[in-house]
Structure formats: structure tokens, C-alpha cells
Amino acid sequence: MIRRWALAAFAAPVVVASALATSMHEAHATASYDSAYGFDRTWNAAVRFIRVDRSYKIIEKDDTTGYLLFEYTSAESGSKVSTGSMELVRANDDVRVMVQLKEMPSYHEHALINAFANKLRSEYGDPPRRKKERDKPPADAGADGS
């Protein structure tokens, strides 16, 4: 006959381990940015940004679907390498750029996407005006012109 205290001593670590395993999960957030620079410019800048500017190793890329898979490292994680992805999706006149780093806190994704947006602006200048903005008639100044 097993004593109750022996059973409790055996069961407690199993319960704690099970609770930890179910409460721990990977972050699946994604940071995004809408680029008005067109797919080709945004794609070329993305590849240069990941490979040249950040020196991350590109594992896989597909320019037709706009997908980059790369090895991400940060000062916080030491020498640990995690997988990151950058995806470009055509959406009307814009290109939605999404960055996902599953093993990292979401602020890493936001920092990366903000740095990429800054790169686009610094290399290509202000984003081109959209068709809607170009086709708008000028605002009427009124009868007296003021």
C-alpha cells in the first residue's frame, strides 16, 4: 500500500511540470508596415536590409511570393539563433510587410520593422503619393481667394 504522502510527493512535480508546459507558449505576434514604394523596390530593400544591413543569414527566399526566412540573433539572446520571417503581400497600391520572430518578444519584431521603414525612407525619400491623393482636385479657396 502506497502512503498518501509518497503519492503526493510523486504527483506534485508531475502536476507542476504539466502546468508549466501548458502555460508556456511561443509568441505569434507579427509586426507590419504598409509600404507605398511598390513591390520591387520594397523587396530589393528587404533583401539588402536582412542580408547586408543586419548581417542575418538568409535561409530561404522567394521573390515571386515575397517571402524571406532568415536566422535572427540579438544581443539579448547571446549566441542563440532563432528563425525569423519577412513576408511582403501586395495590397492594392501598397505592399504590406510583415515580420515574425516566433521565439522573441514582440518588441524585436517592431524594432526590426521600424528600422526597415526608416531604410526605405532614407533610400527612396518620401513615399510616392497615392493615386487618390494625385487625382483630388485642389481645394476651393472660395470666392474671395482666402
The domain 26-124: what is its CATH number? Answer: 3.30.530.50
> In one letter, which amino acid is 130?
R
| Residue extents of the structural domains in the chain | 26-124
H/E run at residue 7: helix 4-23
33 has which bridge partners?
Answer: 97
Residue-wise pLDDT for 96-130, tens only, equals 999 999 989 999 999 999 999 999 999 999 987 76
| Helix 106-124 and helix 39-48, axial crossing angle in degrees, nearest 10 | 120
Res. 29: pLDDT tops 90: no
Question: Residue 75: what pLDDT?
Answer: 81
Whether this model's pTM surpasses 0.85: no
